[in-house]
Amino acid sequence: MAVYTEVPDDELAAFVKAYDIGEVVSFKGIAEGVENSNYLLATTKARFILTLYEKRVNRDDLPFFLGLLEHLSAKGLTCPQPVAGRDGEALRMLCGRPAALVTFLDGVSVRRPTARHCAELGRALAELHETGKGFALRRPNALSVSGWRPMAEAAKGRSQAVSPELDAIVAAELDHLEATFARLDLPKGVIHADLFPNNVFFLGDRLSGLIDFYFACDDAFAYDVAICLNAWCFEPDQSFNVTKGRALLSAYHATRPLEPDEVAALPTLARGAAIRFLLTRLVDWLDTPAGALVKKLDPLEYLKKLRFHQQANDATAFGWRP
Amino acid sequence: MAVYTEVPDDELAAFVKAYDIGEVVSFKGIAEGVENSNYLLATTKARFILTLYEKRVNRDDLPFFLGLLEHLSAKGLTCPQPVAGRDGEALRMLCGRPAALVTFLDGVSVRRPTARHCAELGRALAELHETGKGFALRRPNALSVSGWRPMAEAAKGRSQAVSPELDAIVAAELDHLEATFARLDLPKGVIHADLFPNNVFFLGDRLSGLIDFYFACDDAFAYDVAICLNAWCFEPDQSFNVTKGRALLSAYHATRPLEPDEVAALPTLARGAAIRFLLTRLVDWLDTPAGALVKKLDPLEYLKKLRFHQQANDATAFGWRP
């Protein structure tokens, strides 16, 4: 949530000349996205988001991200659509950084999703999985099970500051997941992998678009479902709302039917998703200096979610109706 | 440059219901303004800036700021226009803070103003001074000559970190200004007091609007001119560009003729303006922790400007043609 690179008006004007998008009418740095500099650019023709990719984004991944957005929007999914310059290129340089323009999406993210929002999300997630089929590029999920142990090791010893039993709980859970999650063999394809409420826009109750595909990768579709169960269906007190879970799963299943082994794996996938966000939040928590203007997310929220998933015998715990 | 207060969608929706502005279509935190939280709000009817006033703004000043914007825009000046709710109130509460909606202005601020931009600015500044006449509320300038010595005292001793001779230079200059600047008796009225290039929008070469009136106050019109000479007419190497100065002064004078004693006072006013920004930048510099995500402005830039003004015998040094 920041603008890291300031773009002066003269450099912006030169950049915009490479496109057939009219003249600049307004230009504002926006507080969106954690890793990059983002601007809302209005021209005489339309509105756009201009992103400058900062250091934490691997430049080799940019063709995957931009190509995916092009693929998805060409097939009718509502997501930011990269805008090519007159030379056909969507990725160019601005202020010494890789930069891209994408179309602006209307909509507002919801803080407290209702079951209706969860149903919309489930449908859109299934559409994303279906629409991603046929996309040629591949990107492995660097934050899946093989990446969790190194993150836990990096936090080890220091995690006492967050919770005294955290190291032991995480170690035991990783033992379990390395024996279960790691052995799953489920239908795979392009997943969003970070489809939290702040990355989903609504106009009223209707979903109007998906954004922020910078964790997108190839992985099990049902893992994306499990991430959304974690991100959308818990109440502020971290109790699971079965009505919301059912709404999400039913709507997903109606668009892309879940296979029996995907349904059976949901408790394991949900545990894996909880550990993934617990660990990245824990590392960010420990590595962010006190007083920094970055919003720290509580890792313990995901410890509570993990405890729920550990009690789940099967997918009915999440609202699944066989 | 930050969003300090997050406004959840449900609180936003309730807030917007108090206005006759249509439905929310998008809502983005923007990196504009140093002291407050600002959002770009688009509805089915128009675009607006929503400002939540944070702690550093004195709430007692808000009727002055909003009343001034109403007064100026009613008289045809292009500045943000406060939007009243259905109850006629422009100032209400949101997320525990005073908040106001103003109209959105198109335009982009320029990093390196040309003489043409300086002429546009001079004309707009004179229009602002003329248009402000008749505004009923008063607000003293807390950052004028009587406020400078306390700021210098607050930095004293610590300013070595910035420059070893700074304390002595500032003390001597304050002696001079307390004997000269403080005794000026010039035409007064509403001034902007912070009309830097980032607070002025252009569409191409044409000035499209003035923003950020949160330092506006009652003071000498010619002091506002002197602030703009400091902010607009120096080159990146801190040499004064007489062509730009002449463009600014001529365009101002053509709209609101400068009186002889205003012209005569320009060197003193320019020295005062340089000290004012030197001191506020110095205090911010010393008080901002290293590593904070706030952009620190260099106080020494204004020391160089001050040195130029100290050599100015009369207004011709700034490009004034008698």
C-alpha R_g of chain A: 20
Residue A299 CA to residue A288 CA, distance in Å, equals 13
Q: How far apart are CA A72 and CA A229, in angstroms?
A: 23
Is there a contact between B207 and B232 (Cβ–Cβ < 8 Å)? no
For the cut 50, the answer to whether the pLDDT of residue B19 exceeds it is: yes
Burial of A35 (0-12, 13-18, 19+ CB in 10 A): middle
Average of pLDDT values for B198-222? 96
Q: Tell whether B32 is within 8 A of chain A (Cβ).
A: yes
Average pLDDT for A170-181? 97
In tens, the pLDDT along A80-138 reads: 999 999 999 999 999 999 999 999 999 999 999 999 999 999 999 999 999 999 999 99
Structure tokens given for A194? 């970070």
Calculate helix-pair angle for B221-232, B242-255, nearest 10 degrees. Answer: 150
Largest CA distance in chain B: 60
- Residues of chain B found within 8 Å of residue A29, distances taken between Cβ atoms: 1, 30-32
- Please tell me the distance in Å from B185's CA to the nearest CA on chain A: 39
Shortest alpha-carbon distance between residue A120 and chain B (Å)? 17
For B42, phi then psi, to 5°, come to: -110, 135
Which chain B residues touch A30 with a CB distance below 8 Å?
A: 28-31, 40
- Contact between B272 and B147 under an 8 Å Cβ cutoff? The reply is no
Provide Rg for chain B, Cα atoms.
Answer: 20
Using a CB–CB cutoff of 8 Å, tell me whether A236 touches chain B: no
Domains recognised in chain A with CATH numbers: 9-103 (3.30.200.20), 115-318 (3.90.1200.10)
Mean pLDDT of A309-319: 98
Average pLDDT for residues B58-74, to the nearest whole number? 96
Q: What average pLDDT does range B220-247 have in this prediction?
A: 97
Query: In the structure encoding, which two tokens stand for residue B19, read together?
Result: 């206005």
pLDDT for residue B3 is more than 70: no
Residue closest to A211 by CA, chosen among A202, A220, A223: A202
The pLDDT tens digits for A252-304 are: 999 999 999 999 999 999 999 999 999 999 988 888 766 555 566 788 899 99
State the pLDDT at residue B2: 55
pLDDT value at residue A291: 54
Q: How far apart are CA B268 and CA B182, in angstroms?
A: 10
Identify from A11, A50, A54, A111 which residue to disrupt to test chain B contact, counting B C-beta atoms within 10 A and taking the largest count: A111
For chain A, the three-class secondary structure string (H helix, E strand, C coil) is CCCCCCCCHHHHHHHHCCCCCCCEEEEEEECCCCCCEEEEEEECCCEEEEEECCCCCCHHHHHHHHHHHHHHHHCCCCCCCECCCCCCCCEEEECCEEEEEEECCCEECCCCCCHHHHHHHHHHHHHHHHHHCCCCCCCECCCCHHHHHHHHHHHCCHHHHCCCCHHHHHHHHHHHHHHCHHHCCCCEEEECCCCCHHHEEEECCEEEEECCCCCCEEEEHHHHHHHHHHHHCECCCCCECHHHHHHHHHHHHHHCCCCHHHHHHHHHHHHHHHHHHHHHHHHHHHHCCCCCCCCCCCCHHHHHHHHHHHHCCCHHHHCCCC
| B23–A30 C-beta distance less than 8 A | no
Please state the rounded mean pLDDT for residues B240-263: 98
pLDDT band for position A223 (cuts 50, 70, 90): very high
3-state secondary structure of B166: helix
- DSSP states of B18-30: TSSS--EEEEEEE
> Do A9 and B111 lie within an 8 Å CB cutoff?
yes
Q: Which residues of A touch B104 (CB under 8 A)?
A: 26
Joined tokens for residue B188: 């007064």
Q: At what angle do helices A221-232 and A115-132 cross, to 10 degrees?
A: 160
Q: What is the pLDDT of residue A34?
A: 65
Nearest-Cα distance to chain A for B277, in Å, is 22
Q: Does the CB of B243 have a partner CB in chain A at under 8 Å?
A: no
Q: B287 or B243: whose pLDDT is higher?
A: B243
Task: Please name which of A232, A231, A220 lies closest in space to residue A258, comparing C-alpha atoms.
Answer: A220
Which residue in the set B106, B112, B292 is minimally distant from A26, CB to CB?
B106
Q: Under an 8 A CB cutoff, do A293 and B292 touch?
A: yes
Q: Among residues B35, B27, B25, B26, which one has the least CA distance to residue B3?
A: B35
pLDDT of B97 strictly over 80:
yes
- The pLDDT of B196-211, averaged and rounded, is 96
Confidence of residue B1 (pLDDT cuts 50, 70, 90): very low
With CA atoms as reference, the chain A residue closest to B104 would be A26
The answer to whether the CB of B269 falls within 8 A of the CB of B191 is no
Give residue-wise pLDDT tens across range B172-195: 999 999 999 999 999 999 999 999
pLDDT value at A233 more than 50: yes
Q: For A9, which of B104, B110, B293 is closest by C-beta distance?
A: B110
Among A4, A9, A10, A110, the residue to mutate for chain B (most B Cβ within 10 A): A9
Q: What is the mean pLDDT of chain B?
A: 94
CA-angle at B231, arms to B225 and B234, nearest 5° = 110
Residue A26 forms contact with B (CB below 8 Å) = yes
A29: which strand partners? A39
Lowest mean pLDDT of B106-115, B145-154, B246-255, B278-287, name the range.
B278-287
- Check residue A13 and give its pLDDT: 95
CA–CA separation, B107 vs A235, rounded Å?
Answer: 43
Inform me whether the C-beta atom of residue B34 falls under 8 Å from chain A C-beta atoms: no
Q: What is the mean pLDDT of residues B66-87?
A: 97
- Residue pairs between chains A and B whose CB atoms are closer than 8 Å: 91
CB of B236 less than 8 A from some CB of A: no
Enclosing H/E stretch for B97 = strand B97-103
pLDDT at residue B38 is higher than 60? yes
Residue A284: what pLDDT?
86
Q: Give the residue with greater pLDDT, B289 vs B76.
A: B76
Q: Do A10 and B204 touch (CB under 8 A)?
A: no
Judged by a CB distance cut-off of 8 A, whether residue A108 touches chain B is yes
B283 and chain A in contact, CB less than 8 A: no
| A235 in contact with chain B, both atoms CB, cutoff 8 A | no
Cross-strand partners of B302: none
Whether A204 sits inside 8 A of B10 (CB atoms) is no
Hunting for tokens 């756009």 — which residue is that? Answer: A48
For residue A8, give the nearest of B12, B29, B111 by CB distance. B111
Give the mean pLDDT of A305-315: 97
pLDDT at res. B322: 80
- Min CA distance, B74 vs chain A (Å)? 23
Nearest CA-CA partner of B142 in B309, B280, B11: B280
Confidence of residue B240 (pLDDT cuts 50, 70, 90): very high
Neighbours of B104 (CB within 10 A): 18
Partner-chain residue, chosen from B28, B106, B291, that has the shortest CB–CB distance to A25:
B106
In the prediction, which pLDDT does A163 show? 84
Mean pLDDT calculated for residue range B41-70 = 95
Asked if B293's CB is within 8 angstroms of A10's CB, the reply is: no
The Cα–Cα gap between B38 and B42 comes to 13
Query: Over pLDDT 90: what percentage of chain A?
Result: 85
- pLDDT tens digits, A126-169: 999 999 999 999 999 999 999 999 999 998 888 887 888 899 99
Rounded to an integer, what distance in angstroms lies between the CA atom of residue B294 and that of residue B277?
17
Better-predicted residue by pLDDT, B232 or A161: B232
Q: How far apart are CA B93 and CA B99, in angstroms?
A: 5
